Amino acid sequence: MKQTIIGLAPFAYEAITVADAVVGLTAATYTQTGYAVQAFITLESAQIRWRIDGGDPTTLVGHLLEMGQSLTLNNPDAVKNFKAIRTGSASGAIKVTYMRG
């Protein structure tokens, strides 16, 4: 599925390994020259769980993201509060592009 992003400019990218400890997005990356208003995330390998409400996900708690799926966070608080953890023995690999208005 092709996604069109209107009115936003990509300004940073990162790759993050989601292992058996909770991990968030990298503040030093999403705050480069301003603050990200959106993050586009793709999951390249292994299932993960994620949350954006300030709590930590576990292997059984949080939203499930399957390999090959994508997720778009549409506000700065969601970008800041994103946390993820793998669900099984294999680590997930997420790719993130950050946008600003």
3-state secondary structure of 22: coil
Range 24-56 burial, b when 16+ CB lie within 10 A, else e: bbeeebbeeeeebbbbbbebeebbbbbbbeeee
Does residue 2 lie within any of the structural domains?
A: no
* Number of other residues whose CB lies within 10 A of the CB of residue 82: 21
**Residue among 67, 8, 85, 18 at smallest CA distance from 40:** 8
- 75 or 34: whose pLDDT is higher? 75
Q: What is the pLDDT of residues 38-54, one digit of tens each?
A: 999 999 999 999 999 99
Model-level pTM?
Answer: 0.91
Predicted pLDDT at 1: 47
Closest listed residue to residue 38, CA positions, set 92, 83, 76 = 76
In a domain, 1, yes or no: no
* 79 assigned to some structural domain: yes
Q: How many CA atoms, within 13 angstroms, populate the side-chain half-sphere of residue 31?
A: 6
CA distance 16 to 79: 14
- In this prediction, residue 101 has a pLDDT band, given cuts at 50, 70 and 90, of confident
CATH value at residue 27: 2.60.120.10
Per-residue pLDDT tens digits for 59-84: 999 999 999 999 999 999 999 999 99
Local confidence band at 6 (pLDDT 50, 70, 90 cut-offs)? low
The tally of CA atoms less than 13 A away on the side-chain side of residue 7 is 4
Is residue 21 situated within a structural domain? yes
| Domain residue limits at 31 | 9-100
